[in-house]
Structure 1
Amino acid sequence: MGMISEFKEFAVKGNAIDMAVGIIIGAAFGKIVSSLVADVVMPPIGVLMGGVDFSKLSYVIQEAAGEVPAVAINYGSFIQSIVDFLIIALAIFFM
């Protein structure tokens, strides 16, 4: 019974509730930034670079064979993730 009451005390402390709210808001902010990068930032950059669609950039290691799909390194998605991270890092820095 002691452990349950200790957990209840911990859960209702302001720090735990604030942390939970921060995590939820952070997750929502991450989705917003991902959409911003994929739908607003990267398309104009792709146009400036000659019509490149970053989400489709990849290096094929092994071509598809029959029902086995191709093996590829999707570095375009990685570039988008880096831009996501940089925007989130800048937002946190300026807070």
Structure 2
Amino acid sequence: MNQHLPHTDWCTRDHRCNLGEHRSAPLLVDLPGHGRAVLTRVRTDTGREHAEIRVRVALAATEPAARRQLASLLTDLRQVVTRAALAGRPRPRHAA
């Protein structure tokens, strides 16, 4: 790990710190029988921070329905990533 990037308050301080990144403990959202999401905050050796999200969703047994689910997931993921990117921008300054 780059010596200029010390552990963060949220870092789990495990073996991955020596592999070029700091990682938080995973946050889980579990909907038994339907799906699971895992969110982890990551800081790379360059100092860039990311949210790593893994999602597992139970798909329908029939192909047309499963394809509709996949299309819906892709659409919704695009919206989530776009909203997160916009939320990270500086707030506009209002004239007084």
Q: Could you tell me the TM-score, scaled by structure 1's length? A: 0.27
> Which structure shows the higher helix fraction?
1
> Which structure shows the higher strand fraction?
2
Q: Could you tell me the TM-score, scaled by structure 2's length? A: 0.27
Find the structure with the greater CA-based Rg.
Answer: 1
